[in-house]
Chains A and B, each alone.
Chain A
Amino acid sequence: MEGINVDWAAVQTVAWTLIKIMALVVPLMLGVAYLTYAERKIIGWMQVRIGPNRVGFLGLLQPIADGLKLLMKEIIIPSGANKSLFILGPILAIAPALAAWAVIPFTDNLVLANIDAGLLYVMAITSMGVYGVIIAGWASNSKYAFLGAMRSAAQIVSYEIAMGFALVGVLMAAQSLNLIDIVQGQSGGVQQWYIWPLFPLFMVYLIAGVAETNRAPFDVAEGESEIVAGFHVEYSGMAFAVFFLAEYANMILIAALTTIMFLGGWLSPVEFLPDGIVWWLLKTAFVLFLFLWFRATFPRYRYDQIMRLGWKVFIPITIVWIVVVGGMMQTPYGYLFH
């Protein structure tokens, strides 16, 4: 401590990083808001309804109105609830959902933190999201909430294993944990994307991603016909909205990761068009559309079927395919698996 000798370079770095974080989080939150709008519109069209169309032109201000409404509402803390943990629940849900975005690359050089073990970082941070759900369910002092939390915890822990193994296949193909290197390993047109050699892993990752985010048809944690709204049944106002934001931010995150690891990230599918963030956005939007499509199409899984699918179908598929990839890499056909 050498007196008041401010290191202005360090201050500048911190300030600049904060600006970059804002530049990442603000569009992300806007994306979350308009993803809810897109969801209501798309599911509306699939069910031959119109969807929101009253607030603003074509209902475009609907998410803003919803957000304002939730901000104005009172946050009710149930009697007998564990107050500090009840407040901590939503915070622990949204913090990992945002923190994971730190290493997501949008183009070659548009990334907040280009760290070497990016893939591991994402896996570690997303695995912490389950605490928000568990703590919320337990602290609510409600049977429904607790049941939802228990279901969600078991489901997330199970599907995380399959997801991790699917990522092992990706890192074997790319021979790197750095997300930018993974995308660059897929350069050379649509036929070079990892979706083709790693197709089983892609399917497992996508479906496990739906399960990880507690989305339909894996939404037994909420299961409104059985346990009302699951872990967030006691939450109201902005505390509920934070859970909602976390779920949608996680959805976008899974879609972005699918894009980066299997669909070539920002790379253009054909040689004669330039690479760019546009492709990243288009591919991510397509994967998000799949999420909404699933929700409008499939009925909810039964709980034992979810467990069977995770443990007895997905994990064996991923392990077999990892062995196949490793074996093929030793043969002359190794170039097919990069």
Chain B
Amino acid sequence: MTYTTAIFYFFAAILVFAGLRVITARNPVHAALFLVLAFFTAAGLWVLLEAEFLAITLVLVYVGAVMVLFLFVVMMLDINLNKLREGFWDYLPLAGFVSVLLVIEMALILGSRHFGLDVMATPEARPADYSNTKELGRLLYTDYVYAFELAAVILLVAIVAAIALTLRRRKDSKFIDPADQVRVKRNDRLRIIKMQSEKRPGVGVQDSGEGGA
């Protein structure tokens, strides 16, 4: 067993364990953290495949952003796990059917002759200065530019739609517009006037009763 193979099995074991714990952990926050571990380990496996751009992007996007928001939501929810588990046996036949189907689908593709080493050439190892990022960028903006742009537009529409669906302007909340606060000038709030000093009504100058209070 070479060093990289040993590392592969180490990472693969962690990945399988973390994946199992995601669905078996009783605490949803623990489950989310195990999902983080699974993503990070998968990124490690991708580095072993010399796909460093994909690996780093996986960590950057899923671990660094998506899972943070996910955790954010899970922590604030008060999830009753026992209630969630109530329907376990009712759903089991459907879930079993779906998982068997998934396994068959994967076996059809991965296990057959289509992906064996005798059909596909072994990917050649690249030197250390080979830029994965540059190659991906070149492919995305030349050969696959239409698909890429289409995907970008669809995502943009999805973002706009999601915001439009959830945006509601509440009339009853005390909303402050920070831009207004930034724009405010002294003259809007404060008026400085020139006036004569006024004489204190009543007794003369020597009365100094204000000190005591």
- Of B65-73, B79-87, B148-156, B193-201, the stretch lying at the interface with chain A is B65-73
A157 and B59 within 8 A (CB): no
Q: B22-38 toward A: CB 8 Å interface, digit per residue (1/0)?
A: 00000001100100100
Residues 152 to 210 of chain A near chain B (Cβ within 8 Å)? 153-154, 156-157, 160, 177
Q: How far is the CA of A121 from the CA of B56 in the complex (A)?
A: 6
A207 to B71 Cα, complex, angstroms: 26
Q: Which residues of A contact B131 (CB under 8 A)?
A: 116-117, 177
Give chain A residues whose Cβ lies under 8 Å from the Cβ of B130: 116
Q: In chain A between 91 and 133, which residues have their CB closer than 8 angstroms to a CB of chain B? A: 115-117, 120-121, 123-125, 127-128, 130-131
Residue of A nearest to B6 (CB): A1
CA of A177 to CA of B129 in the docked complex: distance in angstroms?
12
Decide if B68 touches A120 in the complex (CB within 8 Å).
no
Check B57–A120 contact: CB distance below 8 A: yes
Q: Is B111 an interface residue (CB 8 A)?
A: no
Judge whether B65 and A160 touch: CB under 8 Å. yes
Residue of A1, A10, A116, A120 touching B129 (CB-CB under 8 A): A116
- Least CB separation from B181: chain A residue: A305
1/0 contact trace for B154-179 toward A, CB 8 Å? 00000000000000000000001011
Give the chain B neighbours of A135 by CB distance below 8 A.
Answer: 33
Q: How far is the CB of A155 from chain B (nearest CB, A)?
A: 11
Residues of A within 8 A of B57 (CB): 120, 124
Query: Which residues of B have CB within 8 Å of A305?
Result: 178
CB contacts under 8 Å to A, within B113-149, are 128-133
Inter-chain contact B1/A123, CB cutoff 8 Å = no
Residues of chain A lying within 8 A (CB to CB) of residue B64: 123-124, 127-128, 130, 160
Residues A120 and B60 in contact in the complex (CB < 8 Å), given A131-B68, A153-B68, A308-B178: yes
Chain B residues whose C-beta falls within 8 Å of the C-beta of A160 in the assembled complex: 64-65
Given contacts A120-B60, A127-B59, A308-B178, contact A10 B132 (CB under 8 A): no
Residues from chain A with a CB closer than 8 A to the CB of B3 are 7, 10
Given A127-B63, A128-B63, A134-B68, also A120-B56 (CB < 8 A): yes
- Asked whether A177 lies within 8 Å of B75 as measured between CB atoms, the reply is no
Residues of B within 8 A of A85 (CB): 29-30, 33
- SS class of chain B's interface: helix, strand, loop or mixed? helix
Residues in A with CB closer than 8 Å to B52 are: 115-117
Are A157 and B65 in contact, with the CB atoms below 8 A? Answer: yes
Q: Does B46 contact A (CB under 8 A)?
A: no
The distance in angstroms between the C-alpha atoms of A117 and B176, with both chains bound, is: 43
Q: Which of A1-33 contact B (CB under 8 A)?
A: 1, 7, 10
Tell me whether B53 is interfacial, beta carbon within 8 Å. yes
Q: Are B36 and A131 interface neighbours, CB within 8 A?
A: yes
- Is the Cβ of B179 less than 8 Å from the Cβ of A308? yes
Residues of A within 8 A of B33 (CB): 85, 135
A128 touches B65 (CB 8 A): no
Evaluate contact between B59 and A134: CB separation under 8 angstroms.
Answer: no
Render A293-307 as a binary contact track against B, CB cut-off 8 A, 1 for contact: 000000000001100
B60 and A138 contact, CB distance less than 8 A: no
A127 and B3 CA atoms in complex are apart in Å by 29
Supposing A116-B132, A120-B53, A127-B65 touch, asked if A153 and B60 sit within 8 A by C-beta, the answer is no
In this complex, the member of A85, A116, A146 whose beta carbon has the largest number of chain B beta carbons within 10 angstroms is: A116
A141 to chain B, nearest CB (A): 12
The residue of chain A having its C-beta at the shortest distance from the C-beta of B128 within the complex is A116
CB atoms of B176 and A304 under 8 A apart: yes
Name B129's closest neighbour in chain A (CB-CB): A116
Residue of A nearest to B27 (CB): A82
Quick one: which of B59, B128, B133, B176 contacts A124, CB cutoff 8 A? B59
Distance between Cα atoms of A128 and B56 in the complex (Å): 12
Residue of A nearest to B69 (CB): A157
> 22 pairs across A/B with beta carbons < 8 Å?
A85-B33, A115-B52, A116-B131, A117-B53, A117-B133, A123-B56, A123-B60, A123-B64, A124-B56, A124-B59, A127-B59, A128-B59, A130-B64, A131-B68, A131-B71, A135-B33, A138-B75, A149-B75, A153-B68, A153-B72, A160-B65, A308-B178
Q: Which 5 A-B pairs have the closest CB atoms?
A: A127-B64, A124-B59, A124-B60, A120-B56, A308-B178
By a beta-carbon cutoff of 8 Å, the part of chain B in contact with chain A is: 1, 3, 29-30, 33, 36, 52-53, 56-57, 59-60, 63-65, 68-69, 71-72, 75-76, 128-133, 176, 178-179
A contact set with B: CB distance below 8 Å: 1, 7, 10, 85, 115-117, 120-121, 123-125, 127-128, 130-131, 134-135, 138, 146, 149-150, 153-154, 156-157, 160, 177, 304-305, 308, 312
- Name 20 extra pairs, CB < 8 A, besides A127-B63, A157-B69: A85-B29, A116-B52, A117-B131, A120-B133, A124-B63, A124-B64, A127-B59, A127-B65, A128-B64, A131-B36, A134-B68, A134-B72, A134-B75, A138-B29, A138-B75, A146-B75, A150-B72, A153-B72, A156-B68, A160-B65
